[in-house]
Structure 1
Amino acid sequence: MPPRRLLTATVPLALLALAATACGGGSDTTSTSDSGKKLDKVTLTLNWYPYGEHAPFYYGKQRKIFEKHGIDLDIRAGQGSQKTVQATGAGQTDFGWADTPAVLAGVDQGVQVRSLGVFLQTTPASVQSFAAQGIATPADLKGTTIAGTAGDALSKTFPIFLKKNGIAESDVKVQNTDPAGKIAAVISGKTDGLLGYASDQGPTMQDKAKKDVAYLRFSEHGLNFYSNGLIAGRKTLTGRGDLARRMATAVSESWTAAEKSPQPAVAAMDGASEQLPPAGVLAEQFRTTLTLLHTEATRGKAPGVNTEADWQQTIDVFAQAGLVKSAKPVEQYWDADNAMKG
């Protein structure tokens, strides 16, 4: 993972709570637009510091899509999906942007949070390596050493990926590596590749090493599951259901607009963070992200429209991987009533 992710761990969760005290209560919960329209002040906490995947939020804010839906949006950096899920469930942020495995695990542990729609419906999970390594098929993984982080969703699902492709776990060595050290492990030659997200680490690794990166995507070799999406906690869903529906619609419209205008969307991120990747990396990250928006069941539908069958498939995968100890019905994870409608 890029070094910027290491920095997320240095931001105390308490800062989120302090910054969010005006959200969901008190007298400072509304603002007025330049045109005199009353807006709800809304916080959205990302999964990490801003990177290319997040362009639609900044573009939607720039284009006043959120304002159209009565929302004054405050976008905040996150500290990882798990922390975002916890903060959202605790009411420290109105909405979150988080990986579905973290949502499933959170609900499994009693966190009061549900999804309003997964937008990255094709997993970006992949084995990433320099093209010169020649890892083009699952069979090419035999005898390799891959950097992974013990206990995370990628490492938990990798054995399932191998099994689906007839590869024994013993044929591949997974070297436990700190998330921020994965890219360095590949560049230095300590590992042949890494487990990561095609929409994140790969473009950064290619930029740093000036070498072409190849991707062995789980989704192209028999294993798919939901990735990142919009979440809300019980406080928002029960007390501000109309806001949840407006937010889901505004986010979907922002993704639609960004998909049609990817360059302006990425440009809208200028100044979003001191840790923002270079412009070329941002553009490549977002290009890859746009390949992840649908499954066969939702192709042609608006971004963020989900199906119960796709949710069930995701739940089943993570139950098999051991990340979900007690699988619950789909409605315990996905709030279809307030989510984007097909």
Structure 2
Amino acid sequence: MATRESRTTQYRTASRSALTALAAGVSALALVACGGGDGETAASGDTDAVTLQLNWYPYGEHAPFYYGVEEGIFEEHGIDLTIEAGQGSARTVQAIGQQSFDFGWADTPALLANVDEGVDVRSVGVYLQSTPAAVQYFAETDISGPDDLKGRTIAVSAGDAVTLTFPMYLEAVGLSEDDVEQQNLDSAGKNAALISGQVDALIGFGHDQGPKISAESGKEVNYLRYSDAGLSFFSNGLLAHSSTIADDPDLVQRMVTATSAAFTAAQEAPEDAVASMEGQNPQMPSGEVLLEQWQGTIELLHTENSEGLEPGHTSEEDWRQTIEVLAEAGLINEAKETGTYFDASFTTEGQ
């Protein structure tokens, strides 16, 4: 079994073709993560080489990780962090399930769905605690509220959590699925269809897609947020393989603590946090878009139940709401116990 240090060297020198292979569905993944450091690592000045796979190519939401590396926050907690791009939350969850990376950053609905399919991972902290799901449309469109969606063509992506919960949003605002026409497209296709006028609106992550669409089109984007209709559930957070949690809880604790500290620091210095991403990946949008994305992310970091807690620290009430909403939407078969999906050992409320 490869050491953590040798794996990190391989990751840093590997070409992006590894991610292309993952996106193509290659199941044979080359690297296997082993256990991490001991409880004295940070204190002794040594660091554990740790890999993190994101949910997608870097965008503003990810600024805390790059800022945390630049500012030495992860190093202070004994972590030499390498950040890798992802190809969607589901693939990231599966990659952690195959122990190809030490930690993952992925959407909670994707985590729940994969755990139900037998993928042996757990959430160790949710950072986006209010869903960024929103109906997005150009401000020049004569849409001013949910009632104006009647008769509109809306781009969706079949099977993702935002689409599966769209009927619940429509019900919450007094509409039915028959009131709108849904056009099934992938993420890039949705953006292009809105910009070209092929659809009236799209549903997706407002804090991510909206700023990019606005920058590309030169038009202002407006939002009808699921949360404004009383429909909310957890989004992106940190996850680990169950064996990592069991065999190296000290490493998991340090990673969670460092991530929370990095998110706090990035909130206090948003421009600096975004600047730390410069040159990190050719797929990234402009600095202005990154900043808008990060500022939109900040609004999603807490609910009324978690206000005052450090970023990533959640409430059981919000976990139950998330699980029950996703069960009702059909993304998971039943509303199982929270511990099926989340290990609370590493956050304040779990200690």
- Do they superpose with TM above 0.5? yes
Corresponding residue SS for 1:103: helix
Query: 1:156·1:323 contact (CA, 8 Å) conserved in 2?
Result: yes
CA–CA separation in structure 1 for the residues paired with 2:99 and 2:336: 23
> In the alignment, is residue 114 of structure 1 matched against residue 126 of structure 2?
no
- Offset at residue 228 of structure 1 (A): 0.3
> In the alignment, is residue 100 of structure 1 matched against residue 112 of structure 2?
no
CA–CA separation in structure 1 for the residues paired with 2:199 and 2:187: 14
Deviations 1:32-77 (A, max 9, x none): x9x9821011111000010110000000010110011110101011
- Identify the match of residue 318 of structure 1 among 326, 331, 335: 326
Change (3 A) 1:159 1:68: same
- Identify the match of residue 265 of structure 1 among 245, 250, 273: 273
Paired residue total:
329
CA–CA separation in structure 2 for the residues paired with 1:322 and 1:9: 32
Partner of residue 3, structure 1: none
Query: 1:245·1:340 contact (CA, 8 Å) conserved in 2?
Result: no
Query: 2:35·2:248 contact (CA, 8 Å) conserved in 1?
Result: no
> In the alignment, is residue 166 of structure 1 matched against residue 174 of structure 2?
yes
- Offset at residue 8 of structure 1 (A): 10
Structure 1 residue ranges, 4+ long, deviating more than 4 angstroms after superposition: 7-10
Partner of residue 213, structure 1: 221
CA–CA separation in structure 2 for the residues paired with 1:305 and 1:144: 39
CA–CA separation in structure 1 for the residues paired with 2:28 and 2:302: 32
Partner of residue 144, structure 2: 136
CA–CA separation in structure 1 for the residues paired with 2:27 and 2:84: 11
CA–CA separation in structure 1 for the residues paired with 2:27 and 2:294: 28
Q: Which residues of structure 1 form unaligned runs of 5+?
A: 1-6
- Identify the match of residue 24 of structure 1 among 34, 47, 54: 34
Equivalences for 1:50-89 in 2 at 5 Å?
50-89=58-97
CA–CA separation in structure 1 for the residues paired with 2:19 and 2:154: 27
**TM-align CA RMSD:** 2.2
CA–CA separation in structure 1 for the residues paired with 2:229 and 2:325: 14
- Offset at residue 113 of structure 1 (A): 0.7
> In the alignment, is residue 233 of structure 1 matched against residue 245 of structure 2?
no
Change (3 A) 1:85 1:261: same
CA–CA separation in structure 1 for the residues paired with 2:219 and 2:261: 36
CA–CA separation in structure 2 for the residues paired with 1:339 and 1:325: 27
Deviations 1:226-284 (A, max 9, x none): 00000011121011111101100000000000000000000000111011111111111
- Identify the match of residue 290 of structure 1 among 298, 309, 312: 298
Query: 2:35·2:244 contact (CA, 8 Å) conserved in 1?
Result: no
- Offset at residue 328 of structure 1 (A): 1.6
TM score, norm. by length of structure 2: 0.89
Report the residue type matching 1:113 in the other structure.
V
Identity rate of aligned residues, in percent?
Answer: 53
- Identify the match of residue 12 of structure 1 among 10, 21, 32: 21
- Offset at residue 154 of structure 1 (A): 1.1
Change (3 A) 1:160 1:203: same
Report the residue type matching 1:43 in the other structure.
T
CA–CA separation in structure 1 for the residues paired with 2:17 and 2:313: 30
Change (3 A) 1:219 1:271: same
Query: 1:108·1:326 contact (CA, 8 Å) conserved in 2?
Result: no
Corresponding residue SS for 2:20: coil
Deviations 1:13-47 (A, max 9, x none): 269933x44x3269xx89xx9x9821011111000
- Offset at residue 151 of structure 1 (A): 1.3
> In the alignment, is residue 47 of structure 1 matched against residue 55 of structure 2?
yes
- Offset at residue 326 of structure 1 (A): 3.2
Partner of residue 11, structure 2: none
- Offset at residue 178 of structure 1 (A): 2.0
